[in-house]
Structure formats: C-alpha cells, structure tokens
Structure 1
Amino acid sequence: MLFTTSYTLDKPYFYECFDESLPYSGQAKPKYAFLALLVSLGLIAIYVMDKHYLGNFMIMAAVLECVAFYYRRPWWVTRQMLSRASGSEATLTIDKEGFKSVNPYKSYQLEWQNIDEVIFTNQGIVLKSSKGMQYISNSVLTDDVIQYIKKRAT
C-alpha cells in the first residue's frame, strides 16, 4: 500500500499536535521533586546559611519553572510558528517501509521496525520511537490508511 497526502503546518495543526501528544510525553506532569528541591535549597540558603540572594534566586527559579509549565502549550506552538517550516506544505508518505514526511525545511523518515509504539488518539496517531514522538492527524488520513496502520502496528 502506498499513500501520499499533503497538509499545511499551521497554528491549528500545531495545537492539535501538542494536545494529542502531551499525555504520552514526559512533560505531562510538573517536576514536583525538582520544585521541592529548589524551594528546600532556597529556604536552607535563607534561614541556615543566611544567603538571602542565593535563597531568593532558588525560590524564583522554582516559580519560573511553574510558570514555564503553565505556559508550555502556547510557548511550544509559538516556537513552531517562528520556525522556518511554519506555513509550509508537508508531504506525508506511508508505505511498506514506514512513514516519511518532507517539507521544504525538514524531513523525517520512520521505518516500521523502529516504531516502538503506535498510539491511536481521538484526533490522530502518535508514533513513539527511540528518537522521540511523531504525530499524524486523522484529518489527513483515509479510513483505509488508518486500518492499514492498525494492522501493521499489531
């Protein structure tokens, strides 16, 4: 089976990509241990070592980490929108070898044997491999291709 389609790398696509991939990434929960460590070290620096600047710096770093976690979605989408690939047309090819996506600025190829896990979400497919995750929206796939991917994934 050979399937080829094109789609635009725009803001709605990036939002969908982030939202559907987030539950399967390591970024889904705050780094509680890191935050507790920063606050603890800050309090120790202030009250035990009497180093107020160092302690305040540590506590502010913990606050900054909380802000970064809270705004991770708009920050990630903004970084994607500022990239050269934003607004370009991407071409996705699915065949017996695997997945290949090409746009004028970047391309990736993921062979079937390198895919560790295929996760079907409400709006697309997350492909996990040792190199990271790739997301494919169902809006660019046909039902036959989705069934083909399900068959190959098992």
Structure 2
Amino acid sequence: MSFSTTYTLDKSYFYECFDESLPYSTQAKPKYVFLVLLVSLGLTAIYWLEKHYLGNFLIMAAVLECVAFYYRRPWWVTRQMLSRASGSEATLTIDKNGFKSENPHKSYQLAWQDIDDVIFTVRGIILKSRRGMQYISNSVLSDEIIEYIKKRATK
C-alpha cells in the first residue's frame, strides 16, 4: 500500500502541530529546578556576596525564563512562519518503508523500524523516534491510511 498527499505549511497547521505535540514534549512543564536555582543564586549574590548587579541579573534571567515559557506557543509558531518552508506545499508519502515528507526547502524520511512510538491524538498522529517527534494532521489522511498506520504501529 502506498499513500501520498499534499498540504500547506501555514499558520493554522503550525498551531495544530504545536498544540497536539506539546503534551508529549519535554517542554510541557516549566523548568522549576532551573528557576529555583537562578533565584537562589541571585539572592545569594545580593545578600551574601553583595554583588547586586549579578544578583539582579540572575533574578531577571529567571523572570525571562518564565516569560519565555508563557509565550512559547506564539514564539514557536512565529519561528516556523519566518522559516523558508512557511507557505510551501509539503508532500507526504506513506508506504511499506515508512514516512517521507518533502517540501521545496527540506525533507525527512522515517522508516517504520526507526519509530519508537506512534501516538494517536484527537487531531493527528505523533511519530516519536530518537531524532525527535513528527506530527501528521488527520485532515490530510484518509480513514484507510489511519487504519494502516494503526496496524503497522502495533507490529
């Protein structure tokens, strides 16, 4: 069986990709230990070492980390929209060898044996491998190919 489809890499696709992938990402929770460490070092620098500039810098770095976490979704989508691939047509091919996605600026291939986990979300499929995660929206897949992926994932 071989399946091929095309889709546009636009803002709505990137938002869907981020929203569906985030719960399975390591970036889903704030880095509490890092934040506590920065604030602790900042307070230590201010009160014990009497290095106010260093202490304020470390505390502001913790605040910046909080702001970056809060705005991670629009920041990630903006970075994708500024990439050369934004707005281009991507071609997805699924066959007995695995997944292949190509656009005019980048391509990736993921063999079935390289996939560690297949996660079915409400709006798509996440393929986890050692190289990271790839998201495929259900809107570009037929019911037949989704069933094919489910069968291959259980093998």
* Equivalent-residue separation in structure 2 for 1:124 and 1:80 (angstroms): 19
* Equivalent-residue separation in structure 2 for 1:102 and 1:116 (angstroms): 22
List 4+ stretches of structure 1 deviating above 4 A. Answer: none
- TM-score scaled by structure 1? 1.00
Can you give the 5+ residue segments of structure 1 that lack an aligned partner in the other structure? none
SS at match of 1:133: strand
SS at match of 1:27: coil
> How many residues are matched?
154
Q: Alignment identity in percent?
A: 82
Cα deviation for residue 29 of structure 1 reads 0.1
* Equivalent-residue separation in structure 1 for 2:117 and 2:55 (angstroms): 43
* Equivalent-residue separation in structure 2 for 1:47 and 1:6 (angstroms): 60
Can you give the 5+ residue segments of structure 2 that lack an aligned partner in the other structure? none
Matched residue, 2:32 = 32
- What residue identity is the alignment partner of 2:12? P
> Superposition pairs for residues 77-116 of structure 1, below 5 Å?
77-116=77-116
Q: Deviations over 1:36-55 (max 9, x none)?
A: 00000000000000000000
Cα deviation for residue 127 of structure 1 reads 0.3
- TM-score scaled by structure 2? 0.99
1:139 paired with 2:139, answer yes
SS at match of 2:117: strand
